Structure 1
Amino acid sequence: MIIRSATSDDAAILTQIYNHEVETGTALWNVQAIDLENRLEFLSNQKAKGNPVLVAEVDGEMAGYATYAAFRPQDGFHLTAEHSIYVRPGFQGQGIGPKLLSALIDKARDNGQHVLVAAIDGANEGSIALHRKLGFAEVGRMPQAGMKFGRWLDLVLLQLQLDDRSAP
């Protein structure tokens, strides 16, 4: 497996992965599918903001991706990022998630981020366990904060402090 930065050539597969999660999962609480243009714009925006989009490849095939962006838009949050990680069906359970997340943590540290936040569906025990294994601590739980597929979803917030700076 290799982990590399995404390029515009990856946009079609990124679209497919995103839409699969929209249609079948609760890692993403959006319900509208996106098109190729959306992912091309996403890649361009992430690059312009200096936010990584990492891709995991297994035998030349994209197995998943991870990225982060500003946690909140206010200036005071500029050293805190919220990340997303998606592994394609057929590649799950092969250790791709931990490797992608570890690489993203390294990128966040290299880019001077102070805190990385995960916002996870409370029923996604596998993702919560993965984050805890990599040092994230649960800092909040919001019952029925969202909805999808006709049911309420709990939001679990986990965070990883990336450095020990005493001041920004």
Structure 2
Amino acid sequence: MTPIECQFDAHGDAVMSIFNDAILNTTALYEYQPRTLDVIEQWFRTKHAGDLPILGVLDEASGRLMGFASYGPFRPHAAYRYCIEHSVYVDRDYRGRGVARCLMEALIRRAEAQGYHSMIGGIDATNVASIALHERLGFSHAGTVREVGYKFERWLDLAFYQRLLGTR
């Protein structure tokens, strides 16, 4: 698997489909409403304008987007400029095949190349697969905020995982 730079024209529909599956069927995103193509297009524009990557992995046989990953500012204040928060999403048909690991490794390399110091992931506390992946990649548990989301008729805890990158 080789990560690519996702582009709206080529990958926008697939990104929207993966996002919306996560919104409607999982606690990976604490959202209720599916995203529209206009929202996805604006998301792509904002990422590209901020020199923030959207990396994807394509199925070599079909050309289908198997998953994507990105990052953005952790918080908007100037002192946080070396810290980013990332996300990674994998199409349900490709989970368990190493797609997320491939994307995360590429995302970490990109963040280090761009001079970031700290990478944060907010993970639903029941998402044991994502937590295990992050721990294998050198992330450590930085804290859990209890009952901050409400979805599927239950309260959700958000666990934060952090990896320190290069030093400043």
User: Normalising to structure 2: TM-score of the pair?
Assistant: 0.96
Match of 2:141 among 138, 141, 154: 138
Give distance in 2, aligned partners of 1:79 and 1:121: 24
Task: Specify the alignment match of 2:160 in structure 1.
Answer: 157
Q: Give 1:2 shift.
A: 2.4
- Aligned-pair CA distance for 1:163: 1.2
1:2 match: secondary structure: coil
Matches within 5 A, 1:16-165: 16-59=17-60, 60-165=63-168
List 4+ stretches of structure 1 deviating above 4 A: none
Q: CA deviation at 1:144?
A: 1.1
Partners of 1:38 and 1:21 in 2: how far apart?
16
1:13-34 per-residue CA deviation (whole Å, 9 max, x = no partner) reads 1111111111001111011111
Q: What are the Cα deviations for residues 83-140 of structure 1, in whole angstroms up to 9, with x where unaligned?
A: 0100001100001111100000001011111100010000001100000000001010
- Unaligned 5+ segments in structure 2 are none
TM-score, L = length of structure 1: 0.96
Distance in 2 between the 1:103 and 1:58 partners?
17
Q: Distance in 1 between matches of 2:163 and 2:37?
A: 32
Count of matched residue pairs: 165
- Where in structure 1 are there 5+ consecutive unaligned residues? none
Match of 2:7 in 1: 7
